[in-house]
Amino acid sequence: MTDLPRLAITRKEGTEQFHINGKSLGFDLLSFWRWSASDLVNNAMRGIVAEYIVAHALGLGKSGVRDGWAAFDLETPSGIKIEVKSAAYVQSWHQKQLSSITFVTPKTYAWDAENNIQSQGSKRQADVYIFALLAHTDKATIDPLNLDQWRFYVLPTKVLDARKRSQHSITLKSLEGLCPRAVTYAELPKAMENCIGKELT
């Protein structure tokens, strides 16, 4: 049987046309993005937005494409692997009250998409976790594009691994016990730099 290697995904511009054998149908990729991804508060999309924000803060989002199958979310030029977890008080749907904040942090089996192989043992695949909290609580003015509404907690993975409590998730209160100070978007690169120092010692 012929080997079917992994597709090489290229960065799109948004002007690419939907077509039939090269004949444009009059709508493009940007129109699809607008249709499918405009709800930035939606749980699934908010997580991707958080990854993108963190990538840009750390200088990692200017080229390439997101790899949704990777065992971790981002990687620095020096090889530090980063997992981004997001949460928010405000949701897209009708709420009777603000959501409580919990981040899911399970150990996982890594899948190598290049070779289609799954790891034998489970662990946290990243070296550093960045918890991205959309901290705004006014539903009328919630705006994930306003980076002043976000707060970030940066934690070495080994600190999570050493926890005696749940290894599946962590509440905001517990997270603040491990990382007392949240940082802003502008402060994120320095917080990451400090965290890398702790991770490698």
- Domain positions in the chain: 39-199
Question: What is the distance in angstroms between the CA of the first residue and the CA of the last residue of the chain?
Answer: 48
What is the CATH class of 39-199? alpha beta
At 114, list the tokens: 């290049």
Please spell the DSSP secondary structure of the chain, one letter per residue.
----PPP------S-PEEEETTEEEEEEHHHHHHHHH--TTSHHHHHHHHHHHHHHHTT--SSS---TTSSSSEE-TT--EEEEEEEES--SS--SSPPPPEEE---B--EETTTTEE-SS-B---SEEEEEEE----GGG--TT-GGGEEEEEEEHHHHHT-SS-SSEEEHHHHHHHS---B-TTTHHHHHHHHHHHHT-
How far is the C-alpha of 100 from the C-alpha of 108, rounded, in Å?
24
pLDDT tens-place string over residues 108-160: 877 776 767 777 778 888 999 999 999 999 999 999 999 999 999 999 999 99
Confidence of residue 199 (pLDDT cuts 50, 70, 90): low
How far is the C-alpha of 129 from the C-alpha of 142, rounded, in Å?
25
User: pTM of the predicted model, to two decimals?
Assistant: 0.91
pLDDT at 67 over 60: yes
